């Protein structure tokens, strides 16, 4: 199948203060389809002054606009309508997501549905934010209010553009905040389409702003501006550290969802077929461009050879191609520069002495010539000290590490600066829970890999971040806590 590309290239605007505008410099960036290099659109290349204008718009909307007076019930209704709007545009959005970041259409369709569900979940939660009433020693009516933080700068990555926008915007709006969202400069198109949906449901101007452009400039302004009350970031750990430092300008609240080098632990008694599928899906879903990817496969020695051989038999079934082609299970990496980074790690793995079992190169053929494709890659005989076992590659590269016993598995799993996700495969539920209890990771699975739910918290330990997204925990970072005391005595305090 040949995927047809529109010949007319649209120039998009960004959404600031309820209006569609270009960057003040007039600069634009070309957005390319990573599967074939086709030009999808041109978008504004904003800088610090563009982000500052969006922040001012959000600040005015929060301090002086009507949004603060909108009831929780009506905020929820806005979010329900956004969910409806996403579902009405689901086909268009999924295809655009596939063209933008390369993922297979089936994955993009799931992302769109999940983004709509996220807005719906927080729409329902908007009316369920409770304070507290406390009995205190004084003759006082004392209670706690939960209030919005204010202006939220939100910076999202390129691997799940629409879904990450939903994860950021939905809880912030449910809590009564205003937002400046900066999508990745590589994949801004579905975030801009989301802004169109938001415009159509009638949110007041300035409540949601979408600024396109690189982190150097627009992102730096969001992180450092004293007019921003909170910054939320999903992306690499190195960038997260810089954002955390910049946020000290006014000690703004921060939430960081960062990288991972996640262990997928398979014990000898695991169901082989399930473990094989889980290992491959954990490593290669979304081309391995997932912060929670199971990029370290820890296998108990009695099962090691059988599991590796079974994986090698299945890898050829992973069809590569444009994500809109039927049957494709793996698309291209997001950019040429990122593919080169992943290839550099494959070279490092070879130099370190790991055994390359499959992949490690660009697929041959005219269908792949213009895209940023890379074959699914598996290394065996990996030592925990190797760079490919310690550093986040963010691509379709799996490092297989053998272990002898439970104690060694836990030690290897936790021997990392990260602590985002982990999985355990075993038929022994007692061992599964015992091991999960020892793993230093914020998201864990037993006999499965990758499922996530809007109702459950998402985030990591250690260098994998600060705070949680999704679920009840996800809205906490967008709320302030206020103590209120009402004196019930009718006589003066008599202090003087």
Show which residues are catalytic.
Answer: 257, 291
Report the alpha-carbon angle 74-80-82, nearest 5: 110
Tell me how crowded residue 203 is: count the other CB atoms within 10 A of its CB.
22
| CA proximity to 315, closest of 356, 354, 270, 366 | 356
Contact 52, 219 (CB under 8 A): no
Residues ≥6 apart with Cβ < 8 Å to 157: 164, 184, 234, 235
Distances (CA, A) of 223 to 52, 163, 180, 251, 360: 11, 21, 11, 10, 37
Contact 256, 246 (CB under 8 A): no
| CA proximity to 420, closest of 450, 448, 399, 447 | 450
Q: At what angle do helices 429-438 and 406-414 cross, to 10 degrees?
A: 30
Q: To 10 degrees, the CA torsion angle through 467, 469, 473, 479?
A: 80
Q: To 10 degrees, the CA torsion angle through 44, 48, 53, 58?
A: 100
| CA proximity to 387, closest of 414, 423, 416 | 416
Phi, psi of 201 (to 5 degrees): -80, -10
Distances (CA, A) of 172 to 67, 74, 126, 359, 470: 13, 14, 10, 42, 11
Count helices and strands in the chain by DSSP H and E runs = 14, 23
**What is the Cα–Cα distance from 178 to 197, expressed in whole angstroms?**
16
Please give the full DSSP string across 148-189, using - where no structure is assigned.
E--EEEEE--SSSHHHHHHHHHHHHHHTT-EEEEE--TTS-H
Report the alpha-carbon angle 25-150-198, nearest 5: 65
Which helix (DSSP H) or strand (DSSP E) does residue 485 occupy? strand 479-487
């Amino acid at each position: 199948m040949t995927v047809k590309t529109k010949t007319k290239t649209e120039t998009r605007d960004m959404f600031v203060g309820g209006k569609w505008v270009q960057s003040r410099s007039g600069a634009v960036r070309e957005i390319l389809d990573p599967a074939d290099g086709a030009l999808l659109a041109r978008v504004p290349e904003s800088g610090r002054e563009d982000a500052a204008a969006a922040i001012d718009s959000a600040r005015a909307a929060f301090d002086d606009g009507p949004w603060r007076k909108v009831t929780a019930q009506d905020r929820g209704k806005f979010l329900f309508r956004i969910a409806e709007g996403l579902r009405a545009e689901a086909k268009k959005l999924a295809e655009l997501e596939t063209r933008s970041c390369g993922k297979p259409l089936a994955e993009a369709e799931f992302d769109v549905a999940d983004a709509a569900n996220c807005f719906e979940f927080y729409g329902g939660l908007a009316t369920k934010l409770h304070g507290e009433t406390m009995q205190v020693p004084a003759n006082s009516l004392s209670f706690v209010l939960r209030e919005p933080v204010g202006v939220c700068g939100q910076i999202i990555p390129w691997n799940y553009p629409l879904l990450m926008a939903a994860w950021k915007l939905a809880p912030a709006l449910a809590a009564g905040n205003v937002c400046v969202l900066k999508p990745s400069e590589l994949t801004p198109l579905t975030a801009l389409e989301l802004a169109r949906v938001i415009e159509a449901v009638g949110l007041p101007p300035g409540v949601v702003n979408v600024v396109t452009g690189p982190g150097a400039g627009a992102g730096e302004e969001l992180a450092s501006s004293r007019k921003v009350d909170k910054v939320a970031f999903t992306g690499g750990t190195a960038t997260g550290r810089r954002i955390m430092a910049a946020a000290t300008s006014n000690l703004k609240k921060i939430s960081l969802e960062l990288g991972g080098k996640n262990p997928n632990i398979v014990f000898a008694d695991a169901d082989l077929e399930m473990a094989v599928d889980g290992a491959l899906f954990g490593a290669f879903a979304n081309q391995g461009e997932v912060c929670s990817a199971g990029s370290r496969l820890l296998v108990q020695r009695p099962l090691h050879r059988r599991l590796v051989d079974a994986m090698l038999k299945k890898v050829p079934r992973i069809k590569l191609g444009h994500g809109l082609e039927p049957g494709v299970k793996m698309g291209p990496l997001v950019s040429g520069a990122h593919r080169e980074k992943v290839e550099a790690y494959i070279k490092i793995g070879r130099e370190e002495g790991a055994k390359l079992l499959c992949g490690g190169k660009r697929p041959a053929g005219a269908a792949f010539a213009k895209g940023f494709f890379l074959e699914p890659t598996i290394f065996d005989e990996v030592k925990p000290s190797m760079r490919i076992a310690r550093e986040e590659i963010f691509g379709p590269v799996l490092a297989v590490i053998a272990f002898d016993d439970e104690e060694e598995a836990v030690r290897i799993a936790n021997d990392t600066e990260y602590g985002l996700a982990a999985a355990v495969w075993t038929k022994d539920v007692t061992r599964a829970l015992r091991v999960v209890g020892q793993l230093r990771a914020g998201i864990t699975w037993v006999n499965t890999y990758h499922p996530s739910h809007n109702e459950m918290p998402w985030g990591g330990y250690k260098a994998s971040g600060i705070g949680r997204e999704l679920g009840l925990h996800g809205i906490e970072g967008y709320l302030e806590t206020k103590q209120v005391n009402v004196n019930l005595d009718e006589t003066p305090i008599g202090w003087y």
